[in-house]
Amino acid sequence: MREIEVRSGALEGLDVDLVAVPARRELTDLLRELDGRLGGAIARCMEQGIFLGKSDEASFFPGPPGRPHLLLLGTGDTRLSDPAAIRGLAGRAVRLCRAKRLPSLALLLEDAPAEPPVFQAAAEGLLLGDYSFDALKRSEAGDSEGPATAVVWTAQPVVGASEASAVGFTVADAQNFARSLVAQPGNVAKPTRLAEEAEALSGRGVRFQAWDEEKLRQEGFGALLAVSKGSCEPPRFIILEHPGDGGPPLVLVGKGITFDSGGISLKPAKGMEEMKYDMAGAAAVLGAVRALAKIGVPRRVVALVPAAENLPSGRALKPGDVIRGLSGRSIEVVNTDAEGRLILSDALAYANRLSPAAVVDIATLTGGCVVALGKHASGLMSNDDALAGELVAAGERSGERAWRLPLWPEYRRQIDSEIADIKNSGGREASPITAGVFLQEFVDEVPWAHLDIAGTAWAEKESGWQPKGATGFGVRLLVEWARGLG
């Protein structure tokens, strides 16, 4: 989709192929007007119970020649004041529009409250719903073409609506960028490719660096290098910065394991292909910087991405090895499949040097987090109640939820090592938490939070506007959080 326009006033001027209207089983003023053009078809459908207005329901009414088709979207009991409901409705509308290959649509929001977040959510839903990943498929004409333009319409003009819609467009566009990066298989989205993608986001004030192996050795990134050793793909450490006002930065750290076989602690074959998604944290922080720079937030924001491939080989890191990274701490690697926290430990140790206002890392870190929270929330751990509260709130507002888990000191004993300062796995019990406790060791006294997106980074099946596959989780949450800080 190229453009989303906010409009109000008479319906007559809406020159689109499809109008989508959220509805219950009752005629509103707007529906009565539309029904007039359709010769009473809507009223008949409602009377006969063909359209009940339930939340998963949709009814399509072909338009008379030269007039738009109509799509009624059942709202059930959901309230249109909830941005998540608007996002969902917009997403449903655009998916149907795609399926029917119609070039333009309008979402008519008659009863929605006159508040900017509604328009941000509408734009997000329109763009997020208009997404599929077919870069690697033979294209058949018009296959993945969605509508080129969309209109969000209200009867009365709303102050700030266009600006909010533009923000929504930018955020969702960045989320779609993240989705596509995550969706790329391991042989495409290699560490060097992540660096190229980040570089492509630089310019117009955004600064980029990518450190290669030699530089990483000089700087002492021993943990990132250790994880990367088993692979022929060289690692990278990516730094992407939106300078903003030049103050203490918000540092966003994203796990960039481009494929996680487990290493010598090899994973079972079943489902291993999903571990191409193990760089979803990296994609989220790159997407967030892309959006925040475009929006022009005043804050300085720095994304850090340690990127590597985790493979077994004759050169690979082994269980029992003791390594030392940038922090200087010795780490006993009892399980080479707990590689994410290793590469993150170097990135967090580096983040300390930037005198950050706050550090947030985001990572597909533990299978245990999927067991605990499923697909509906990410795990959140933090050393700072205020920061944790901000992230939970930003999660609610953006529709990307986070749920806090404790980091009580009692958990530290699970990662005590007999021969080193710490070990990289605390076993099955509370595995998301012991991973969080491990990361916390590498963070100085700054507000820090860790988001475990193992359950939310990709969808196992299609639902609503989210197709099966990469979700781009984290972009909306991080952008909402950073914007909320002013």
Name the site residues for ligand BES (rule: CB under 6 A): 260, 278, 335, 337-340, 364-368, 370, 425, 431, 454
Q: Which is nearer to Mn ion, 196 or 321 (CB)?
A: 321
Residue 88 token pair: 């969902």
Q: Are strands 378-382 and 402-404 parallel, antiparallel or unpaired?
A: parallel
Q: Which amino acid is at 221?
A: F
Are 201 and 290 within 8 A, CB to CB?
Answer: yes
Min dist. Cβ of residue 185 to Zn ion (A): 16
* Cα–Cα distance measured from residue 405 to residue 408, given in angstroms and rounded to the nearest whole number: 9
- Catalytic residue of the set 37, 267, 329, 404: 267
Beta carbon of residue 87, minimum distance to Zn ion (angstroms, whole number): 30
> What are the tokens at 327?
């922090």
Angle formed by the axes of helices 116-129 and 83-99, nearest 10° = 30
Contact yes or no for 257/310 (Cβ under 8 A): yes
> Look-up: residue for tokens 């943990």?
223
Near Zn ion by CB under 5 A: residue from 278, 332, 346, 452 = 278
Cβ proximity to ligand BES, 20 vs 422, nearer residue? 422
Check residue 452 for interaction with Zn ion (CB under 5 A): no
198-213 in b/e form (b: 16+ CB < 10 A) is beebeeeebebebbee
Tokens of 339: 């590689």
Q: Which two tokens stand for residue 421?
A: 């300062």
* 351 contact choice in ligand BES, Zn ion, Mn ion, none (CB below 5 to 8 Å, kind-dependent): none
Nearest to Zn ion of 365, 479 (CB atom): 365
Query: Least Å distance between CB 392 and ligand BES?
Result: 22
Which residue in 35, 173, 260, 361 binds Zn ion (CB under 5 A)?
A: 260
CA distance 72 to 93: 9
Binding site for Mn ion (CB under 5 A): 260, 337, 339
CB of 384 to ligand BES, least distance (A): 25
* Catalytic entry in 92, 193, 341, 397: 341
Rank residues 221 and 259 by Cβ distance to ligand BES and give the closer one.
259
Select the span of 184-192, 195-203, 246-254, 272-280 touching Zn ion (CB under 5 A).
272-280
DSSP code at position 138: P
Which of 340, 368, 432, 469 is in the footprint of Zn ion by CB under 5 A?
340
Three-state DSSP state, 466? strand
Q: CA–CA separation, 373 vs 367, rounded Å?
A: 10
For Mn ion, the closer CB: 92 or 276 = 276
267 is catalytic: yes
207 counts as catalytic: no
- Give CA torsion, residues 108, 110, 113, 116, to 10 deg: 30
3-class secondary-structure state, position 116: helix
- By beta-carbon proximity to ligand BES, the closer residue of 61 and 411 is 411
Catalytic residues: 267, 341
